[in-house]
Amino acid sequence: MNRYEGKVFRMALVILKDPARAEEVTQDIFLKLWQALPDYDGRASPGTWLYTIARNTCLSASRSDSYRKTVSIDVTAEPAAPWAQSGDMELAQCIDRLPEIQRTVITLFYLEEKCVDEVARMLGMPEGTVKSHLHRARLALAGMMKE
C-alpha cells in the first residue's frame, strides 16, 4: 500500500482535478481492493490489477461527477488541479487547454518523475501510445506558447 497510495492518488487527482475528491476516491479504491482481494487470482501482476481497479473507479467517479455538475463555460476559469498549485499560471492554463488524454499523459509523466512505463501501466496503454500522446502534447504546448 505504501508503494501505491501516492501513485493512485496522483492518478485520481489527474482524472478528477479536485484534491479532496481525489483523496475520497483513493480511499474507495483501496476499499474496493481490500474487498476484491479474495477474488484476486494472480494472473495479472498486483500493480496491473490495482491500476485497473483504480482507473475504472476514477473514470466512473469522473463520469458521475460531471453528470451531477451543471455545465458552465467560463473562459477565465482557474486551471484545474494539480497544475493550479504550480507557480507558472501561463503554463498551467496552456495544459488546461490540451485534449483530455494529452493533459492526463503529460501531467502523469511529470508527476511520476518522467517514467513512461509507469504512466503506461497506470493508464493501461502501450508505452508507444503514451509517448505519442506525450509528443503531441509537447508540440501543442509549444504552439500555444508561441501564440
Partner 1 sequence: MNCEESRQTLLNALAGSISAERQLPVENHLSTCEDCRGFAEVQRMLDVRLTAAVPLVSLSPRFRSSLREKCRHQAIPGWSESLPDIAHLIGCALAIVLLLLVMPQYSRTVLLAGSGFTAVTYFFQAVLRSSLERREA
**In the bound complex, what is the minimum distance in angstroms from residue 70's beta carbon to partner 1?**
27
**In the bound complex, what is the minimum distance in angstroms from residue 134's beta carbon to partner 1?**
6
Which position among 48, 59, 60, 138 is part of the footprint of partner 1 (CB under 8 A)? 138
Instruction: Specify the residue, 10 or 55, whose C-beta has the smaller distance to partner 1.
Output: 10
Cis ω on the peptide bond leading into residue 82 (within 30° of 0)?
yes
Q: State how far the Cα of 13 lies from the Cα of 80, in Å rounded to an integer.
A: 10
Under the binding rule (CB under 8 A), the answer on residue 36 touching partner 1 is no
Which DSSP symbol is given to 125?
Answer: -
Cα angle for residues 40, 44, 47 (degrees, 5° grid): 90
Tell me the per-residue interface mask from 47 to 86 with partner 1, x by CB under 8 A, - otherwise: ----------------------------------xxx-xx
Under the binding rule (CB under 8 A), the answer on residue 40 touching partner 1 is no
Match 474496493 to its residue by C-alpha cell: 32
Do 123 and 55 form a contact (C-beta atoms < 8 A)? yes
Which position among 9, 102, 103, 123 is part of the footprint of partner 1 (CB under 8 A)? 9
Backbone angles phi, psi at 119, to 5 degrees: -65, -40
Instruction: Specify the residue, 24 or 70, whose C-beta has the smaller distance to partner 1.
Output: 24
